[in-house]
């Protein structure tokens, strides 16, 4: 499929520990098994390599999201399915990325991984909620820093009571429905 594959960016936004990255990697495995070229632009890796030096102010978060959006669009415009599990807390930043994709004629889907903050806090895969509760960090998205949930995402995945596999299947179904996967 690689030569004629349609690229697309699938942006998974949600709170820390919502399940974005886990779902992205599960979907990536399925898509690769179907013969698609896939890249996962993990927010933590991007911060380490592409956005090193940026903090967590609104401006720095916006810059980070725009950098990720640029790379995602570049890959997607070359036939890659780009899965982007990134918090991206501000609606205007996500809209700017969508606009860039539209301007370039590249498919873009926004997926809200809608996990309640209480569930994210229980999962706390990186220990961020515990550190925030202990006063060791501030500015945790969804706790003491804003998270603007998408008003009209292409798909909303509620992970509570749903397996990772079910979430990946739902997301793949959206790609098929939009003609972006067979």
pTM given for the model: 0.92
Q: Locate the domains of the chain by residue range.
A: 2-175
- pLDDT tens per residue across span 51-79: 888 988 999 999 999 999 999 999 999 99
CATH number of 2-175: 3.40.50.300
Q: Where are the beta strands (DSSP E) in the chain?
A: 8-13, 38-40, 81-85, 107-113, 155-157
**CB contact set of 57 (below 8 Å; sequence gap of 6+):** none
pLDDT at residue 167 tops 50: yes
Q: How far apart are CA 150 and CA 114, in angstroms?
A: 10
pLDDT at residue 140 tops 90: no
CA atoms within 13 A on the CB side of 2: 4
């Amino acid at each position: 499929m690689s030569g004629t594959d349609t690229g697309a960016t699938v942006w998974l936004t949600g709170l820390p520990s919502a399940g974005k990255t886990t779902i992205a990697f599960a979907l990536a495995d399925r898509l690769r098994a179907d013969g698609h070229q896939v890249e996962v632009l993990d927010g933590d890796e991007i911060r380490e390599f592409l956005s090193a030096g940026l903090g967590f102010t609104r401006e720095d978060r916006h810059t980070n999201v725009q950098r990720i959006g640029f790379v995602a669009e570049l890959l997607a415009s070359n036939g890659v399915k780009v899965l982007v599990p990134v918090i991206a807390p501000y609606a205007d930043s996500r809209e700017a990325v969508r606009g860039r994709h539209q301007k370039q004629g590249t498919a873009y889907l926004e997926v809200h991984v809608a996990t309640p903050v209480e569930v994210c806090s229980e999962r706390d895969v990186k220990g961020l909620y515990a550190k925030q509760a202990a006063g060791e960090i501030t500015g945790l998205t969804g706790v003491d820093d804003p998270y603007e949930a998408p008003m009209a995402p292409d798909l909303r995945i509620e992970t509570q009571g749903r397996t990772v596999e079910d979430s990946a299947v739902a997301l793949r179904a959206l790609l098929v429905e939009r003609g972006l996967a067979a």
